[in-house]
Amino acid sequence: MDSFFKEAILSFKTSGTIRPSSKYLIHACLKDIDFERAENIIEFGAGNGCITSEIISRKRKSTNLYSFELNEKFYNHCKKRFHNEDGLHLIHGSVLEFDKILESQKINSVDYFISSLPLSLFEKSTINSIIGKVIPHMNNDGMFIQYLYSFNRYKLLRKHFNQVAMDMTLLNLPPAIIFKCKK
Ligand SMILES: C[S@@+](CC[C@H](N)C(=O)[O-])C[C@H]1O[C@@H](n2cnc3c(N)ncnc32)[C@H](O)[C@@H]1O
């Protein structure tokens, strides 16, 4: 997407970056997902669709992927990039509403949440309210995967999740930490 840089800068408070995730970061985020078993996957913050595309190529056709994107330009870009993809539901709106969408689709349990939301820039109260909704929708053996460019939300994640494993990739600009959280 030629205009990714421009759009990301214009909406830096919600994009939290100036470039899409590298293939190394995407691999680090997705490598522990059991795509054979997953029935429902939720993506928070599709952006230009770089992670969405990799999830689509790895998942089974019957697996539902709900990808949320707040920014209209990124959403429209993804709409054009992915059309008629089996199981993909692109949603233009805030992840704060994800529970309502799942309820309307009668989806109670989610196997994996993959979030690239810039939580380091979010208010703690907003993070608490997002994760407060994630936990009851997550399978007992499900995982919440979040990458960030700093450790500043580790304590907050630990407050919500029993297990928070960390991985890191230097092969991204900037280098990123991947948090893999279980309840
Ligand atoms: C760091 S970018 C990640 C984009 C892409 N997934 C990647 O890894 O390169 C974060 C994305 O989250 C989106 N976003 C931020 N707040 C959001 C919200 N409340 N609901 C849905 N998407 C949101 C932004 O518009 C942006 O596209």
Q: What are the pLDDT digits (tens) for 117-162?
A: 999 999 999 999 999 999 999 999 999 999 999 999 999 999 999 9
- 157/148 Cα distance (integer angstroms): 12
pLDDT band at 13 (very low <50, low <70, confident <90, very high): confident
Pocket test for ligand 1, best of 53, 69, 178 (most atoms within 8 A of CB): 69
pLDDT the model gives residue 2:
60
Question: What single DSSP character describes residue 20?
Answer: P
pTM of the model: 0.96
- Please give the CATH topology (third level) of the domain spanning 4-85+99-182: Rossmann fold (3.40.50)
Pocket test for ligand 1, best of 22, 44, 67, 131 (most atoms within 8 A of CB): 44
Nearest 10 degrees: CA dihedral of 131, 11, 21, 166? -30
Give yes or no for a contact between 79 and 90, defined as CB atoms under 8 angstroms apart.
yes
Nearest 10 degrees: CA dihedral of 177, 167, 123, 72? 70
Ligand 1 centroid to residue 49 C-alpha, Å: 10
Q: What are the pLDDT digits (tens) for 73-127?
A: 999 999 999 989 999 999 999 999 999 999 999 998 999 999 999 999 999 999 9
Name all residues whose Cβ lies below 6 A of ligand 1. Answer: 14-17, 20-21, 45-47, 50-51, 68-71, 74, 94-96, 116-118
- 76/92 Cα distance (integer angstroms): 9
- 83/121 Cα distance (integer angstroms): 31
Structure tokens given for 136: 């009851």
Pocket test for ligand 1, best of 14, 130, 171 (most atoms within 8 A of CB): 14
Q: What is the CA radius of gyration of the chain?
A: 15
